[in-house]
Amino acid sequence: MTQQTIGILGTGSYVPERHVTNGEVAARVDVPEEWIEKKTQIAGRRYAADHEATSDLAVHAATGALERAGLTADRIDYLIVSTSTPDSPQPPTAYHVQRALGADSAACLDINVVCSGFVYGLALANSLVAHRPGSHALVVAADVYSRILDFSDRRTAVLLGDGAGAAVVGAAPEGLGFLDFELGSRGDKHNLIRVEAGGSRVPTSPETIAAGGHFFRMEGRDVRDFVMENFPPVADKICARNGVALSDVQHFVPHQPNGVLLTEMVNRAGLAGAHTHRTLERYGNVGSASAALTLDEANRAGHLKEGELVLIGTFGGGMSIGAGLMRWVGAA
């Protein structure tokens, strides 16, 4: 039996209307406005409105992806939502997205691999669709980090914003679509990115709230060292395994942590010859949505041509690494 070729058939994204400038963040964090752009290359970000939750952003992005794939929601067999800022602990955010879309035939689940979640979701979708010919999966990555930021912590508050991205996955023409995925996890580094309270180990209490235990925390320098040590070998490995050189990669769509780190990582990984797509200057770091949103913007701008080699690279809390290599389908 010839294995079915699977790929991305359509993409979508959404960012909230509220634009938050570096000046506004600087006033809250008590740092110079110029310091933010110098350290991060981020010029602005979006924050969700008071009435918007993660599922609301996800629905907007998913709707765009479905429209560009030429599918209605009832054609979706699997709905995967990647988020580390769910609407609530239960039920899974994917069920809210299912209800809003009317994707009543879809099996739904959430995954939480923090900023690597989009690639993990694509890898899972690829496996599910390959085992059921003719099926479709909808992978949505969405985060609302503005709700868990500590504005007394300049290391994190200046970086993060809110947004969502989505991709429809299904059968692709021969020679196009996903080539391979490389996923990795390092639980021994779990303390580098974390939200300490609100789970079964440290349940919510007046004391955890007073101590700021529900805020996002990150050891920035150690995260940078992890990325530099672990992502370049992953990029090299996935290309070598598929008989292509790093210099053959035409488009690199990475997670968007901050601009300084991203530039250094591209050079360290040997991807300077690829077109690295960036959205962090306008949206900051939007968690697992970063790569998904950036992929959609590159697609809608017409930068990705059918048959071109695209590498998606992600890394995030856990710690986690994810890379996906594909020949672009020419999604709408």
The CA distance from 291 to 276, in Å, is: 11
Alpha helices for the chain (secondary structure H): 22-29, 33-40, 54-69, 93-101, 117-130, 154-157, 206-210, 220-241, 259-268, 280-283, 289-300
- In degrees, rounded to 5, the angle at the alpha carbon of residue 60 between the alpha carbons of residues 301 and 275 is 25
- The verdict on whether 255 is a catalytic residue reads yes
From residue 227, give the alpha-carbon distance in Å to each of 28, 217, 232, 322, 325: 29, 17, 8, 11, 18
The CA distance from 71 to 65, in Å, is: 9
Residues near 124 by beta carbon (within 8 Å), at least 6 away in sequence: 80, 111, 137, 139
Catalytic residue selected from 60, 251, 255, 277: 255
Looking only at the bridges linking them, the beta strands covering 309-316 and 251-254 are: parallel
Q: How many CB atoms lie within 10 A of CB 3?
A: 6
| Greatest CA separation for the chain | 62
- The verdict on whether 242 is a catalytic residue reads no
Burial of 183 (0-12, 13-18, 19+ CB in 10 A): middle
Catalytic residue selected from 96, 108, 112, 115: 115
- Reference 328, options 183, 181, 175; nearest CA is 175
The CA distance from 294 to 163, in Å, is: 11
- The verdict on whether 285 is a catalytic residue reads yes
Q: Are 145 and 162 within 8 A, CB to CB? A: yes
Beta partners for residue 196, in sequence order: none
Reading the block at residue 238, the tokens are 């996935």
Active site residues: 115, 255, 285
